Amino acid sequence: MTSLSTPHHDPVTAKPRATMRHVAALAGVGVKTVSRVVNGEPNVSAATIAKVRDAARQLNFEPDIHAGNLRRADRRSQTLGLLVGSVANPFSGAIHRAVEDAAAEKGIAVFASSLDDDPTRERGIVSTFLRRRVDGLILTTASKSQGYLLPELEHGTPIVFVDREPVGVEADAVVSDNANGAAVATRHLIEHGHTRIAFLGDREDIWTMRERRRGYRDELGRAGISSNDAQVIGGIVDEQAARQAVDDLLASGNPPTAIFSSQNLITTGAIRSLRDNDAGHRIALVGFDDIALADLLDPAITVVAQNPQRIGALAAERVLAKLDGDTTADQTYVVPTTLIVRGSGEIRPNE
């Protein structure tokens, strides 16, 4: 056996990539001049620019942005790290898209990763971003504290939290009007005559879940509804669990007349259960976060809609502003939610 080996892509056919040196040689100029042309720096003669452009085109030259970044004064990688719930989730997708649009305008590329509400993933992904020297971070978090980001903040990396407020660090955050939105939803149900309103919640350790539950409870309190009537069910991790939870509620001795489901997947699970149990027109439902085609269901689903586009756009705006030297004090930006009345939330008890 010889020592011949093909460790990776076939080295026989692999053509080397053109560097500035190659371009410089072909154009008959120095590398620094190529650099000047590529970066649009002034004081290069038109003739030289043409020669260099030609050579670069011939060789399919693409500058190595990271090699440049190594020496460049501003050390910008033109890259952002984005961590969202899951890139497969429409809410996250809308945030991602808004961030991409803002970043693309400035030639900035975006790393996007999924958190899955897993603290370990959070740390790993952030580390992955940091090792790639992203210029800024937009993060949804799951860990108990984001104190580990302090050194990065001190270094000057702009960090903006989205969807959930951070713990253990001061930084910008962009979140939905969670407690108020939940209160509005709850009040809406109360105004339609309900007192037995169940709350279907996510995992206890998720900040948005606690905020929404707080809004729900506060509103019940304001209406003078006994907390005995509040059926708070937490720890619902997916659509199937939500379905089961509602099945159980309906089978219980004292079912609620209305349901407030505090999240996307939980809402669809609830819809399925209500449908299965033929209770869709009997039990009111208001969901937190809009769902696709909710207006075409029967009944159409009343929701408190979030504004993920706005959340993403605002987060990107803040990060980019900080990169441009903006020193506005860190704060939490609250993006309003909107009650969208469609039918399911206007069902009255005992109908």
Partner DNA sequence: TGAGGCGTTGATAACGATGTCACGGATTGT
Partner DNA sequence: ACAATCCGTGACATCGTTATCAACGCCTCA
Determine the Cα–Cα distance for residues 17 and 61; give it in Å rounded to an integer.
Answer: 8
Least separation, in Å, of the C-beta of 131 and a copy of itself? 5
Q: Which residues pair with 138 in a beta bridge?
A: 82, 160
Q: How many C-beta atoms lie closer than 10 Å to residue 249's C-beta?
A: 21
Least separation, in Å, of the C-beta of 48 and DNA? 4
> What are the start-end ranges of the E strands in 41-92?
79-84
Q: Which residue lies nearer to a copy of itself by CB, 215 or 269?
A: 269
Least separation, in Å, of the C-beta of 316 and DNA? 25
Least separation, in Å, of the C-beta of 99 and a copy of itself? 9
In this structure, what is the dihedral angle of CA atoms 175, 177, 183, 188, given to the nearest 10 degrees? -120
Least separation, in Å, of the C-beta of 198 and DNA? 53
Q: Which residue lies nearer to a copy of itself by CB, 21 or 275?
A: 275
Q: Which residues pair with 109 in a beta bridge?
A: 79
Q: Which residue lies nearer to a copy of itself by CB, 41 or 64?
A: 64
Least separation, in Å, of the C-beta of 222 and a copy of itself? 33
338 binds, among DNA, a copy of itself, none (CB under 5 to 8 A by kind): none
Q: Return the closest-CA partner of residue 238 out of 89, 124, 84, 121.
A: 89
322 binds, among DNA, a copy of itself, none (CB under 5 to 8 A by kind): a copy of itself
> What are the start-end ranges of the E strands in the chain?
79-84, 109-114, 136-139, 159-162, 172-176, 197-200, 231-233, 258-261, 284-288, 302-305, 332-335, 338-340
Residue type, 247: D
DSSP secondary structure, 93-138, as one string: HHHHHHHHHHHHTTT-EEEEEE-TT-HHHHHHHHHHHHHTT-SEEE
Q: Which residue lies nearer to DNA by CB, 46 or 251?
A: 46
Q: How far is CA 177 from the centre of its chain?
A: 15
Q: Which residue lies nearer to a copy of itself by CB, 7 or 253?
A: 7
Q: Which residue lies nearer to DNA by CB, 9 or 251?
A: 9
Sheet holding 197-200, edge to edge: 231-233, 197-200, 258-261, 284-288, 302-305, 338-340
Angle 98-99-101 from CA coordinates, rounded to 5°: 65
20 binds, among a copy of itself, DNA, none (CB under 5 to 8 A by kind): DNA
Q: Which residue lies nearer to a copy of itself by CB, 129 or 216?
A: 129
30 binds, among a copy of itself, DNA, none (CB under 5 to 8 A by kind): DNA
29 binds, among DNA, a copy of itself, none (CB under 5 to 8 A by kind): DNA
Task: Give the chain's radius of gyration (CA, Å).
Answer: 27
33 binds, among DNA, a copy of itself, none (CB under 5 to 8 A by kind): DNA
Q: Which residues bind DNA (CB under 7 A)?
A: 17, 19-21, 28-36, 38-39, 42-45, 47-48, 61, 63-64, 67-68, 70-74
293 binds, among a copy of itself, DNA, none (CB under 5 to 8 A by kind): a copy of itself
Least separation, in Å, of the C-beta of 152 and a copy of itself? 8
